[in-house]
Amino acid sequence: MGTHKLIQKSLKLTAVGAIAFSVLAQPLSMVASASEVTKTENKLLTATVQSKELLKNNTFTQPAKIGAPTEQPFPNWQMAFVSNQSLENVSAVGADTKLSFTAGAPDGAMFSYGSSDPTIRLAVYIDGRVRLVNGTRGVEKVAFYQDVPTTIGKIYTLSQHIPSPYLLGCSLYASDTSRSTQLASVSTDNFTVSDKSTTFIATSSTTRITAVFGGSGLSSLYNGYLQPESTSYNTSVSLKENSDTTQIKTDIDALFLDNMPTSNAIKKTTDQAAIDALQKQIDILEASTTKTTLQNELNLAQELLNARIAGEAEQTAAKTAINDLFIDNNTANHIKDTTTQAAIEAAQTKVDAVTDTTVKAELQAELDKAQAELDARTSEAQREAAATAATEGLFVDNDTTKGIKPTIDQAAIDAAQEKINNVTDPTVKAELQAELDKAQAALDARTAETQREAAAKAATDALFVDNDATKGIKPATNQAAIDAAQEK
């Protein structure tokens, strides 16, 4: 997503968030003052949204198949005895137990479960009914529990819903896993329609939720239904976390520069772990406008983090490509002998992809240094090639081990000298200069010989009439003149 679109998105999110959270916050001032509530109550009065359902199979639905292999009437719930039938406390729950198939029927099955009264059965039907049965009169309380991951210090809502007046009552408890500490409870007697809830603060990372079916007067009953035929009238229980959305909003804002999504920038300290932690808090919320607003702001933070990570990857790629141009991969050194224009252009492509203007400028400066050195090296190579060609061109077959060409003159040597003078590599320059000095010496020798030959010929010709060696000598020619010509 482009920067412009991200800015527009952040502005929109901030506007929506401000409206959503101002609406959430307004009722709080109308509920109670700080002097009227305890610290725990104050915590309960913050802007909250409940989580998704935390209990598995919270409607106590029986297995899809019922028969001899069935060990628990409600999947995800562990059945247990109630050791004290009169005690209204989670400590009354005893040891775990399981079903034992006793008889089948077209519409279900009968099970014993190890009760001290061997005539009590639990009947589970394929139409949804579950009931306790005793042909000699008298049923008993039975318990079911499951352990739920919780966060210490978080507030949870525990509730039960009994929509039918024909069902056994239910006592619902929250406790530690040993049932030594009861955190909260709600209870409804037999054959009573009920909707009850309470809250508690989790004290451990795992909380046990226990449902005890059965109320008063069980000893007079031949049977009692835990669940009816119609799922519309099922007893259900619930456990939900009360999430402080104001705090979640604050924590999301803290991901951004100046704690403001409109900054369109996240803090350097914002990382994936911080976003993931907040995502988990949002994930458990029930669907609502507040959840959507929180999610949208967190999505913006994620997009900005993704962009930063991508940008860092681009910066790393560009930096690596530039370092590879230099000796020991260190930009403080000169470029490598193997560095080419193609390598510099490839690095330039990577620098162009960097979006951080400050970093991009730093990388470009380093690449410009490499380019300048390559340009200088390329020019030097060209100068050396020109000087070499000019020097070798003085010799027969362009071979400096041979003599100079007959056509070579001082002008040709002077032209080669100018090219050698432009060479900056001292070693190469010295080698070329030695070759040129050899050519100069050869030319000097040839010039001197030509001059000597001309002087000798002039002296000899001067001995003859009309300076013509085909004629006789001049009358004036004497031995001294001949001796002088001989010396030449």
- Are 225 and 290 members of one domain? no
What would the two tokens of residue 76 be? Answer: 């995800």
Task: Indicate whether 40 belongs to any domain.
Answer: no
Query: Could you give the CA distance from residue 369 to residue 322 in angstroms, rounded to a whole number?
Result: 10
Task: Indicate whether 223 belongs to any domain.
Answer: yes
253 contacts: CB under 8 Å, gap ≥ 6: 259, 260, 261, 297
- Are 482 and 408 members of one domain? yes
What would the two tokens of residue 436 be? Answer: 């040129």
Task: Indicate whether 47 belongs to any domain.
Answer: no
pLDDT at 230: 77
- Are 87 and 168 members of one domain? yes
* Nearest residue to 201 via CA among 183, 186, 215, 226: 183
Task: Indicate whether 286 belongs to any domain.
Answer: yes
Looking at residue 30, its amino acid is M
- Are 348 and 373 members of one domain? no
- Are 60 and 189 members of one domain? yes
* Nearest residue to 166 via CA among 141, 191, 186: 191
What would the two tokens of residue 48 be? Answer: 């909250």
- Are 142 and 200 members of one domain? yes
CATH number, residue 74: 2.60.120
Query: Could you give the CA distance from residue 281 to residue 480 in angstroms, rounded to a whole number?
Result: 126
Task: Indicate whether 81 belongs to any domain.
Answer: yes
* 194-201, strands of its sheet edge to edge: 48-50, 236-244, 155-162, 194-201
3-state secondary structure of 414: helix
Residue 179 — left, alpha, or beta (φ > 0 → left; ψ -120 to 50 → alpha)?
Answer: left
Render each residue's pLDDT in the chain as its tens digit; 488 residues: 554 444 445 444 544 444 444 433 333 333 333 333 334 433 433 466 778 899 999 999 999 999 999 999 999 999 999 999 999 999 999 999 999 999 987 789 999 999 999 999 999 999 999 999 998 889 999 999 999 999 999 999 999 999 999 999 999 999 999 999 999 999 999 999 999 999 999 999 999 999 999 999 998 899 999 999 877 899 999 999 988 889 999 999 999 999 999 899 999 999 999 999 999 999 988 888 999 999 999 999 999 999 998 888 999 999 999 999 999 999 999 999 999 999 999 999 999 999 889 999 999 999 999 999 998 888 888 888 888 998 999 999 999 999 999 999 999 889 989 989 988 889 999 999 999 899 999 888 888 877 887 888 888 888 888 888 888 888 888 888 788 878 87
Query: Could you give the CA distance from residue 106 to residue 73 in angstroms, rounded to a whole number?
Result: 17
Q: What is the pLDDT of residues 285-330, one digit of tens each?
A: 888 899 999 999 999 999 999 999 888 899 999 999 999 999 999 9
C-alpha distances (whole Å) from 180 to each of 147, 218, 249, 286, 311 are: 14, 26, 36, 31, 54
- Are 123 and 193 members of one domain? yes
pLDDT at 47: 63
Q: How many CB atoms neighbour CB 259 within 10 A?
A: 12
Query: SS3 for 50-106, per residue?
Result: EECCCCCCCCCCCCCCCCCCCCCCCCCCEEEEECCCCCCCHHHEEEECCCEEEEEEC
Residue numbers of the domain that contains 391 = 367-487
Query: Could you give the CA distance from residue 287 to residue 99 in angstroms, rounded to a whole number?
Result: 38
- Are 210 and 104 members of one domain? yes
Tokens 């119609």 sit on residue: 230
Task: Indicate whether 2 belongs to any domain.
Answer: no
Looking at residue 193, its amino acid is V
- Are 108 and 158 members of one domain? yes
274 contacts: CB under 8 Å, gap ≥ 6: 255
* 120-125, strands of its sheet edge to edge: 100-105, 108-112, 120-125, 130-134, 223-227
- Are 194 and 84 members of one domain? yes
84 contacts: CB under 8 Å, gap ≥ 6: 91, 92
Domain count, the chain: 3
* Cβ contact 136:74 at 8 Å: no
Domain final residue pick, 355, 377, 404: 355
Domain final residue pick, 215, 242, 269: 242
- Are 98 and 127 members of one domain? yes
Helical H segments across 263-326, by residue range:
272-283, 289-323
Distance of CA 398 to the CA centre of its chain: 64
Query: Could you give the CA distance from residue 147 to residue 128 in angstroms, rounded to a whole number?
Result: 24
Query: Could you give the CA distance from residue 71 to residue 90 in angstroms, rounded to a whole number?
Result: 23
H/E element, 131: strand 130-134
Task: Indicate whether 253 belongs to any domain.
Answer: yes
- Are 294 and 391 members of one domain? no
Q: How many CB atoms neighbour CB 98 within 10 A?
A: 14
Task: Indicate whether 381 belongs to any domain.
Answer: yes
Domain final residue pick, 295, 321, 355: 355
Looking at residue 430, its amino acid is A
